[in-house]
Structure 1
């Protein structure tokens, strides 16, 4: 029988303090991950907002540029080529002034500011039933044509749709006629037009809904069967194309035959006088 002394070693147990430190570290890691995810989402949202603002500014500038070019061409010299093109029977304003059957027509052309912004040979007159009576549809903007883009960067393009403003019962009776002129004379009438400029960024999506080309849709909201697809703005929205439709109402009149009243009821000068220009 052995007489060697026996020693009992204390039983070992896992340290509860080391386990608590591990849990705390894991909690900190989870918090850091959550903070990183939130920061990434916030930066992504900020980037989307900044991109959206840039897109809206670009589209608005492109659409407004078309309005400025149209205004300058009409208010400029009547001897200029662009004025005569705009006011001729085949032009966007002369068509309505000189053709008594044009009330329900819609004049369409693609705005091309890099050259002469309006080409009388590349226009379309759209009828309420969707058919064309001029240009065989070549007035519509074409996303595959480099000439239809506003700049050499091929970023944005703008289409102009012009219609006569529908009659309104609230308008003053005979308010569109020149004082002292025969109502049968073309030059005695003033015309009000609805101008809708649609600017898009084709790089983001195709300007089509199925086989329907959005550029070929009407700008008349009241004349559309379905406002989501049968109007140019609604169709672009459904197609997912970044777009802006800028609406402007313009008056075209012969100022040389209209009277302008100044200082009404004041002084001893004439109440009304012909404008100097």
Structure 2
């Protein structure tokens, strides 16, 4: 006789099966939500990176546009009115060349390419102590539509020009014309520091309390706190900005004397150094 034992398995009720399916569905929903959240964050990050890249490109173009306009005005024809304005005693370069007391000054104007990029009546000449010598106002103003680079009122660029301070690295007599000694020099080159600061005022306020960032200096060596410079102040205020720094040599040729040819006359001979 066979001895067969039968085992009774526990029966699973339909209600408990429905509960297990619900848990699985909830787990899938959680996974889908997590994947969607990660995708949204990734797309937001990509959008921010693209926007940041567009902002940087716009700021660099605005600042570089000012540099190109300045270079073209000085290197262009001396019959142009803009050439006379830039090199006159009230212009950004002529002020330093023709005024012997201007070594510590800073020349400021807002770049306005839609009209005439440099308006001689809208400039500021600032001393090292912060005193404004000019009657006009050269600082950019976010409330002034004409101060923006384009009619979209997106970006504006302020130009700060000053003489390059003396340095031990500067070559002795490097500003003198070759072939002339220091006692009879008739032409001298001046080295300028040009700081073009492009900003997007729509993103944040350009003031910190009572401090107007546009009124801060570009001469980093004259301050101890970075917020006292125009670039540092804009960064502290959260304003997107870009500063392009350029050194430029401008030579004063107004007093140059013609040199006589070799072996003729008794005037000043132009000779090149032997080494």
TM-score range, shorter chain: 0.7 to 0.9
Preserved contact between residue 98 and residue 186 of structure 1 (Cα < 8 Å): no
User: What does 1:56-71 correspond to in 2, within 5 Å?
Assistant: 56-71=56-71
TM-score by length of 1: 0.84
CA displacement 1:125-181 (0-9 Å, x = unmatched): 111111211135x11001111110111111110000001011111221101111234
Question: Cα gap change, 1:186/1:119 in structure 2, threshold over 3 Å: closer, same or farther?
Answer: farther
SS across alignment from 2:220 = coil
TM-score by length of 2: 0.85
Name the CA distance, whole Å, in 2 between partners of 1:254 and 1:209.
41
CA displacement 1:4-29 (0-9 Å, x = unmatched): xxxxxxx9956433222111111100
Name the CA distance, whole Å, in 1 between partners of 2:131 and 2:249.
27
- Give 1:255 shift: 7.2
SS across alignment from 1:132 = coil
Question: Cα gap change, 1:75/1:197 in structure 2, threshold over 3 Å: closer, same or farther?
Answer: same
CA displacement 1:67-108 (0-9 Å, x = unmatched): 000000000011110000000000000000001111110000
**Alignment-derived partner of residue 207 in structure 1:** 206
User: What does 1:1-277 correspond to in 2, within 5 Å?
Assistant: 13=13, 15-136=15-136, 138-181=137-180, 183=182, 188-227=187-226, 229-254=227-252
- Give 1:254 shift: 4.8
**Alignment-derived partner of residue 6 in structure 1:** none
Preserved contact between residue 191 and residue 249 of structure 2 (Cα < 8 Å): yes
Question: Cα gap change, 1:249/1:240 in structure 2, threshold over 3 Å: closer, same or farther?
Answer: same
Name the CA distance, whole Å, in 1 between partners of 2:243 and 2:121.
24
CA displacement 1:44-76 (0-9 Å, x = unmatched): 111110000000000000000000000000000
Name the CA distance, whole Å, in 1 between partners of 2:234 and 2:244.
14
- Give 1:253 shift: 1.7
Name the CA distance, whole Å, in 1 between partners of 2:95 and 2:237.
32
Name the CA distance, whole Å, in 2 between partners of 1:186 and 1:158.
37
- Name the stretch that deviates more: 138-147 or 182-191: 182-191
Question: Cα gap change, 1:187/1:237 in structure 2, threshold over 3 Å: closer, same or farther?
Answer: farther
Gaps of 5+ in 1: 1-10, 259-270, 273-277
Question: Cα gap change, 1:80/1:43 in structure 2, threshold over 3 Å: closer, same or farther?
Answer: same
Name the CA distance, whole Å, in 2 between partners of 1:103 and 1:181.
24
Aligned pairs, number: 248
Preserved contact between residue 97 and residue 252 of structure 2 (Cα < 8 Å): no
